[in-house]
A and B are shown apart, each in its own frame.
Chain A
Amino acid sequence: MIGILIFTHADIGKELIRASEMILGPQQHIEFISIEATTNEVEIMEKLKGALKRLGKEGILLLTDMFGGTPMNIGCRFLNKQKNLEVVTGVNLALVIKALTMREKVKDVKELAGIVADYARKDICVASSLLHGISTV
């Protein structure tokens, strides 16, 4: 099974997993790494290496929170080292749920990464503009 690692600032990953399990029930092969402003690089690298080893046997999807942020910067260092690794930025709940539900069907990490990124992007919208002309009463 493709492993999922959510790597973010603060405990976003931990809470996204909790929220996903609230919707889908308990999940396997999904972990998080939180970085704080005070976490040093050596510590982060060690955690990341450990998690990639545990989760990466059949490919791994590394989900980070923001383009250009530290989790993405560090995660991308493994792109040319770890086989079957894809890094996706801008993780949200819809993305995590999609990844969890699609990984049984889509075995190719690159393909899965593309699917979840598209899906997550579409999940973001201004609700009022969708409801334009529709009575909300």
Chain B
Amino acid sequence: MKPYIWVRVDNRLIHGQIIQAWLPFLNPSVIITVEGDQLPNGIQSTLMRMAVPKHIDLIFLTSEQLKKSWSIFIHNKNDKTVLVLVKEVKIIYEAVIKGDFLPDIINLGNIHALDGRIEITPYIFLSKEEYNMLKEINSKGIKIQLQTLPTQSPLYFEEIKL
């Protein structure tokens, strides 16, 4: 059976909310992080490994690797849940629309205010371009939720407007 693939878009990748709140809630056996075109440097990857409990596998991929080779990393039938953390909406868009990555759900966790991004919730800001990317992903039947912490009730993409 294919594992449940739970994707989160979070500008901070692995941080307090992930370690303290989402890992106990989701209980993934694998975490994949994608920052963009580059892999984390030695210091960053060491710190992330130390912050994540030992029984969870941690894999660092580039956007390109997620798009082209995700299935190599998500294949073990013993894995029930795989948590994929991506830094930006664009990364997941490329993987789903231009590649064949098929997540079960996409969670929008923390996307911070930057020029051109419009406030959707206090934690989620989207540009018009990002909104349209998500709309295209959503139209393929992939559920998208806005939920920063497991204790909050999720808001679904269909409910938001830009």
Residues of A whose CB lies within 8 Å of any CB of B are 9, 37-42, 66-70, 72-73, 76-77, 79-80
Contacts and interface: CB of A to CB of B under 8 A. Distances in A.
A68 B14 contact: yes
A80 to B, nearest CB: 7
A83 B103 CA distance: 43
Contacts of A76: 43-44, 47
Interface of B: 11-12, 14-17, 19, 43-44, 47-48, 50-52, 110, 112-114, 122-123, 148
A73 B47 CA distance: 7
6 contacts: A41-B11, A68-B14, A68-B51, A70-B12, A70-B16, A76-B44
A66 B16 contact: yes
Contacts of B110: 37
Given A67-B50, A68-B50, A40 B112 contact: yes
A70 B114 contact: no
B15 A73 contact: yes
A41 B15 CA distance: 13
A121 B43 CA distance: 24
The 4 closest A-B pairs by CB, nearest first: A68-B51, A40-B112, A69-B16, A70-B15
B43 A41 contact: no
A136 to B, nearest CB: 33
B43 A38 contact: no
Nearest to A37: B123
Contact of A9 (B16, B19, B48): B16
B19 A68 contact: yes
B112 A41 contact: yes
A128 B11 CA distance: 42
Nearest to B18: A68
Nearest to B12: A70
B17 to A, nearest CB: 8
Contacts of B12: 41, 70, 73
B113 A38 contact: yes
A40 B111 CA distance: 8
A73 B14 CA distance: 9
A68 B122 CA distance: 23
Contacts of B14: 68, 73
Contacts of B43: 76-77, 79-80
